[in-house]
Amino acid sequence: MYLNGVASKKITYDAIVIGSGISGGYAAKELCEAGLKTLVLERGRDVKHIQDYPTAMTDPWDLPHHGKLPQEVIDENPIVKRCYAFDEATQHFFVRDKEHPYIQEKPFDWIRGYQVGGKSLLWARQTQRWSDYEFEAPARDGFAVDWPIRYADLAPWYSKVEKFVGISGNKDGIKSLPDGEFLPAWELNCLEKHIQKSVKENYANRHVIIGRCAHLTKPNPIHLAQGRGQCQARHLCYRGCPFGGYFSSNSATLPWAAKTGNLTLRPHSVVHSIIYDEQKGKAKGVRVVDSETKEVMEFYAKIIFVNAATLNTNLILLNSTSNRFQQGLGNDNGLLGKYVAFHNYRGSGGATFEGFEDQYYLGRRPTTAFMPSFRNLEKQEMDFQRGYMVAFSASRAGWQQDINQPTFGEDYKAKATNVGPWGVFIMMQGETVPREENHLRLSTDKKDAWGVPQLITSIGYDAENDEKMMKDFHQQATEMLEKAGCKNIYMSDSKQAPGLDIHEMGGVRMGKDPKTSLLNKFNQLHTCKNVFVTDGACMTSVGNQNPSLTFMALTARAVNHAVAEMKKGSL
């Protein structure tokens, strides 16, 4: 499409943000607050807070299949059906397998949410800060490249984000899991407290805490100003929360950006590529395909934030070729799309517990008990690299397990009104080590419906390192549950493919040296300084913590730098 000068002026902005999810929404908020006219491009449909949550208040018996997916949907979606949050009441927020095909060179379950807000409507909302144990790990243990920042660089931005988002938690005083700006915490139940006490008595370096999560237990004025209210502990979060009790782009950052008058939001906008200006030596805009009309158009801006989520961000940059960058934007070193890593969720287990029959709990708490990583913290001490967080929850078997059995009369009433024994579920969240062979690239002969090359995923486990880590988790989880007096302990390996963790990161990693990284310490492409990447693609390593809080902190820091550079005329 060829645009004349008048049309060009009409579609020029100060900043363009690609993607409206966790990091894209936060970029929009910060840019608009700084006074920049900002265009947010979202490839999916619009979703407005409250009015576009069609099942948020629907009772199970009012759903056609009582929450279960029809067999036809299951058969047609072998990938997305594996996601724990994909059901009859949430399916409208997920991408169906046929809607955006990709090529799996190795098994990879790509879970996507193409709508305004992205996966911020679907995330598990667990939020932990990184520490220097994570930022220093690559240099200390000899993998990937050294991070160009340390915890001190990000700490004030963590605080800024936490205050706006609303994070519940306790000041736990754990060196490897820094404290933050917290709302009142949720409470462990009686069995979880019992296990917490047992762990403290038996292990010097293991700490059980209540999980820190992006839920408003007691809203502050900033949250009320966003129009959000207290979390109701309904555990229906993946349908969209009409109370705004949990943080999403839809309930918080995008409306906040819109209030400034500086936001333009354009859904149905599939980004084809970033346009590079050969004469000026920087990016000048974004080429877009309208997802409904297939019209090709271009938008221009002084700075561009790429926040399309890890895999799509890599795809866009790889497809952004020019005479200057023939392998993809900023890809002089050939590392774009490489060193992708993820979290190892394969290990889990469970147990029963005899006791506490006279105790129960209130509501459906949106978080679990957590244990920060205790392996390889101060030095390499195991026969595998890095470590893992442990998450566990205790609950009582409920009437739901038996209510559908063909019973009547007194037996039916007893099953419907009495709770069963206590049980424990426990799982790992392990750090995987970025490896060059774990990569993404573009197909040379297959394109999607919008004319963009299909993405090839070639990402797998390290059989040696990742499986040794899982076996250690199995051993340690079994031991801790035994010491707490649990019975019928079992451990399992889900053997799930990478991707189902939905924590994929890397491919456009940060670093100090342009020869070994794509981004500098402020998330700018080394060789195209007006393009910033602050979603999961920017991560040099993946830590063992849930990553979304770190994405938002990096985004806030990068926007601050971009605005300062613009004021100086450097961008």
Q: Where are the beta strands (DSSP E) in 5-119?
A: 12-18, 38-41, 103-104
CA distance 111 to 99: 12
CA distance 309 to 315: 10
CA distance 563 to 14: 10
Question: Residue written as tokens 């819109």?
Answer: 258
CA distance 318 to 314: 6
Q: Is 490 left (phi over 0), alpha (psi -120 to 50) or beta?
A: beta
Q: What is the pLDDT of residues 375-392, one digit of tens each?
A: 999 999 999 999 999 999
Contacts of 516 (CB under 8 A, 6+ apart): 145, 333, 335
Q: Do 307 and 19 touch, CB atoms closer than 8 A?
A: yes
Torsion of CA 65, 68, 71, 75, to 10 degrees: 150
CA distance 571 to 563: 9
Q: What does the block give as tokens for 80?
A: 């997305």
Q: What does the block give as tokens for 529?
A: 């300084």
pLDDT at 5 over 60: no
CA distance 236 to 245: 11
Query: What does the pLDDT read at residue 418?
Result: 79
CA distance 311 to 503: 11
pLDDT bracket for residue 406 (50, 70, 90): low
Q: Within a 13 Å sphere around the CA of 539, how many CA atoms are in the beta-carbon half?
A: 38
Query: What does the pLDDT read at residue 6?
Result: 44
How far is CA 536 from each of CA 100, 193, 434, 459, 502, rounded to the nearest angstrom?
Answer: 20, 34, 13, 15, 10
CA distance 303 to 283: 8
Residues β-bridged to residue 525: 519, 528
Query: What does the pLDDT read at residue 405?
Result: 58
CA distance 128 to 324: 40
Q: What is the DSSP letter of 126?
A: B
* Phi, psi of 519, deg, nearest 5: -120, 150
Contacts of 396 (CB under 8 A, 6+ apart): 360, 419, 420, 421, 422, 423
pLDDT at 128 over 50: yes
pTM of the model: 0.96
Q: Do 510 and 538 touch, CB atoms closer than 8 A?
A: yes
Nearest to 171 by CA among 153, 155, 183: 183
Q: Do 357 and 222 touch, CB atoms closer than 8 A?
A: no
pLDDT bracket for residue 3 (50, 70, 90): very low
Q: What does the block give as tokens for 310?
A: 């890890």
Q: What is the pLDDT of residues 65-103, one digit of tens each?
A: 999 999 999 999 999 999 999 999 999 999 999 999 999
Q: What is the pLDDT of residues 260-307, one digit of tens each?
A: 999 999 999 999 999 999 999 999 999 999 999 999 999 999 999 999
Percent above pLDDT 70 for the chain: 96
Q: Output the CA torsion sign for 205, 206, 209, 212.
A: positive
CA 266 to mean position of chain CA atoms: 22
**3-state DSSP assignment of residue 410:** helix
Nearest to 541 by CA among 177, 135, 212, 104: 135
pLDDT at 1 over 50: no
pLDDT at 19 over 80: yes
Q: What is the mean pLDDT of residues 130-145?
A: 98
Q: What is the pLDDT of residues 218-253, one digit of tens each?
A: 999 999 999 999 999 999 999 999 999 999 999 999
**Residue at 560: amino acid letter:** N
Q: What is the pLDDT of residues 298-308, one digit of tens each?
A: 999 999 999 99
- Average pLDDT value over all residues in the chain: 95
